[in-house]
């Protein structure tokens, strides 16, 4: 045998053995990722419901009070945390993009977290709950091309003896209540059967930017019950770990993909859409920690690699927020671009005390036409309240035909972000500071959103969107609304709006 070939084989064997040894000595990593849910857990101060399992997990480890997503909608958020990169830096910033004939490919050097775990000897899984016997994978929803082989299956119990696992469990969370009054009522009936009771809408206190309509109150109560149900499932997941002897050697991370789906929650730059719970517990993590520093959801990529003793790529934007030498962020950034057919371009910066929002398409209304959101009962109820004159001045702002180009909020005195200080001369210097900071971040991170989405990509995704709705036999009125909105987006773009 050629000596060079023999030497190469020896190196590969030694490398493989070292990887297997390192993996065997490393902890398991489990991510529990929940859809459409803000930090409405009792450990975060929610008083109307109890969430004993998430609370107990927080007591076992560390609770982050100021964790924020970099994108307030699922596919862009998920594209970000699975790479440890801002979705704007990798071209994955438009929701459900790259799904048609036009595809999105990751920039050179950007790796997916499951690939890195798999290459290091880990058994990699992604699943829903309960785990299906047919090994059907759970939600991924990435906006770029990727190889499904980076996941070994759905159930980590099928790994080899002694092999550690990197697992993700995707839970429906806030989506459980559905989007209509009928689906909400069905969910509440299910909750009453499970728990023996449901949250009383009469006990709900809404944020001041929402009117107290019966539908919105009932929806919020059902949403809180979806938090209770999520907590119950977390208990089942932890029980599986304990029964299989894995709990003591598993880092468990609990997080949501963005905030509650509501009028100014999901898809928008306010804290209701960006602020998420983040709880981490497991071997080597000191119990009872509560941290108030700012962290971004993409940071879960770096810290997970670090716990597994896997080298963090130098190009990764995520930070190991659990490292001894970690220097806390002074600000967190977020972006929202096209969602389904609705073209948008929003950016935000949040510090401990202030929020800055840039509305690049400020000539458009805050509630742009969007078939997905406009079909929800809560949106219909909100708009109906507006037509009937039942909105106060703060609530009415959401129905204005245009928005301010910039928004600035003092989060200490105005945590609900309703008093825009952007036109206040006393904050002129701070406003200029945030403008420069945003421009610097866009440039340094290579924000793809600074340029409009290519027409070919928009057309490709919209064709698939309409075709999918037709294949699912959605009501013709809904499909026609989507088509109408698509044409409106093209018209507004041609008008420079």
pLDDT 10s digits, 39-68: 999 999 999 999 999 999 999 999 999 999
The whole-angstrom separation of Cα 225 and Cα 233 is 12
pLDDT 10s digits, 255-275: 999 999 999 999 999 999 999
The whole-angstrom separation of Cα 390 and Cα 384 is 8
Q: Residue 358 has which token pair?
A: 């840039």
The whole-angstrom separation of Cα 217 and Cα 487 is 34
Domain locations along the chain:
3-494
Q: How does residue 17 score in pLDDT terms, banded at 50, 70 and 90? A: very low
The whole-angstrom separation of Cα 81 and Cα 90 is 12
pLDDT of residue 6: 52
Tell me the H-state helices in 40-180.
52-60, 74-81, 113-119
Q: How far is CA 163 from CA 29, 158, 280, 302, 311, in A?
A: 12, 10, 22, 21, 19
- The DSSP secondary-structure symbol of 261 reads -
Helix (H) or strand (E) holding 430: helix 428-444
CATH number corresponding to 3-494: 3.40.720.10
Helix axes 181-195, 214-243, angle to 10 degrees: 40
Helix axes 214-243, 377-387, angle to 10 degrees: 160
pLDDT of residue 44: 98
The whole-model pTM stands at 0.95
Q: Residue 247 has which token pair?
A: 């709990």
CA dihedral 223, 225, 226, 227 (to 10 degrees): 100
* CA-derived radius of gyration, the chain: 23
The whole-angstrom separation of Cα 411 and Cα 271 is 10
What rounded mean pLDDT belongs to the chain? Answer: 95
Classify strands 62-68 and 289-291 as parallel, antiparallel or unpaired: parallel
Q: Residue 371 has which token pair?
A: 């078939």
The whole-angstrom separation of Cα 371 and Cα 341 is 8
The whole-angstrom separation of Cα 327 and Cα 411 is 23
* Position 394 pLDDT exceeds 60: yes
How many other C-beta atoms are found inside a 10 Å radius of the C-beta of residue 239?
A: 12
Buried b / exposed e over 422-432, threshold 16 CB at 10 Å, is beeeebeebbe
* Position 14 pLDDT exceeds 90: no
Classify strands 62-68 and 295-296 as parallel, antiparallel or unpaired: parallel
Q: How does residue 80 score in pLDDT terms, banded at 50, 70 and 90? A: very high
Buried b / exposed e over 274-297, threshold 16 CB at 10 Å, is bbbbbbbbbeebeeebebeebbbb
The whole-angstrom separation of Cα 319 and Cα 443 is 19
């Amino acid at each position: 045998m050629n000596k060079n070939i023999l030497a190469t084989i020896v190196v590969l064997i030694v490398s493989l053995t070292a990887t297997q040894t390192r993996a065997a000595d490393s902890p398991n990593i489990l991510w529990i990722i929940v859809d459409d849910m803000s930090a409405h857990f009792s450990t975060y101060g929610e008083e109307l419901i109890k969430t004993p399992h998430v609370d107990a997990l927080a007591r076992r480890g560390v609770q982050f009070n100021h964790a924020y997503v970099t994108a307030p909608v699922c596919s862009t958020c998920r594209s970000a945390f699975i790479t440890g990169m801002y979705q704007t830096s990798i071209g994955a910033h438009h929701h459900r993009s790259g799904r048609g004939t036009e595809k999105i490919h990751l920039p050179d050097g950007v790796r997916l977290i499951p690939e890195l775990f798999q290459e290091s000897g880990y058994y990699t899984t992604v699943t829903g709950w309960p785990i299906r016997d047919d090994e059907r994978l759970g939600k991924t929803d990435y906006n770029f091309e990727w190889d499904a082989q980076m996941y070994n299956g759905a159930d980590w119990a099928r790994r080899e003896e002694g092999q550690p696992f990197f697992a993700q469990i995707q839970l429906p969370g806030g989506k459980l209540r559905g989007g209509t009054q009928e689906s909400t009522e069905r969910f509440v009936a299910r909750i009453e059967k499970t728990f023996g009771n449901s949250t009383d809408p009469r006990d709900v206190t809404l944020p001041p930017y929402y009117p107290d309509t019966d539908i919105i109150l009932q929806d919020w109560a059902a949403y809180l019950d979806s938090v209770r149900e999520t907590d119950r499932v977390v208990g089942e997941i932890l029980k599986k770990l304990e029964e299989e002897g894995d709990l003591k050697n598993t880092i468990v991370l609990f997080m949501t993909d963005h905030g509650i789906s509501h009028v100014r929650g999901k898809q928008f730059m306010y804290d209701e859409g960006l602020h998420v719970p983040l709880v981490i517990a497991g071997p080597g993590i000191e119990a009872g920690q509560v941290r108030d520093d700012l962290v971004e959801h993409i940071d879960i990529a770096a810290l997970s690699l670090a716990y597994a003793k896997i080298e963090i790529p130098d190009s990764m934007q995520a930070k190991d927020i659990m490292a001894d030498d970690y220097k806390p962020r002074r600000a967190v950034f977020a972006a929202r671009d096209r969602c389904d057919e609705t073209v948008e371009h929003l950016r935000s910066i949040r510090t401990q005390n202030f929020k800055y929002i840039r509305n690049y398409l400020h000539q458009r209304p805050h509630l742009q036409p969007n078939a997905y959101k406009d079909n929800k009962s809560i949106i219909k109820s909100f708009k109906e309240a507006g037509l009937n004159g039942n909105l106060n001045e703060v609530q009415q702002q959401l129905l204005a035909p245009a928005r301010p180009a910039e928004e600035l909020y003092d989060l200490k005195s105005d945590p609900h972000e309703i008093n825009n200080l952007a036109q206040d001369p006393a904050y002129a210097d701070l406003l200029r500071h945030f403008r420069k900071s945003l421009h610097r971040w866009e440039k340094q991170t290579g924000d793809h959103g600074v340029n409009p989405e290519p027409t070919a990509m928009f057309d490709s995704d919209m064709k698939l969107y309409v075709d999918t709705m037709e294949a699912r036999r959605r009501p013709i009125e809904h499909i026609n609304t989507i088509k109408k909105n698509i044409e409106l987006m093209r018209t507004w773009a041609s008008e420079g709006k």
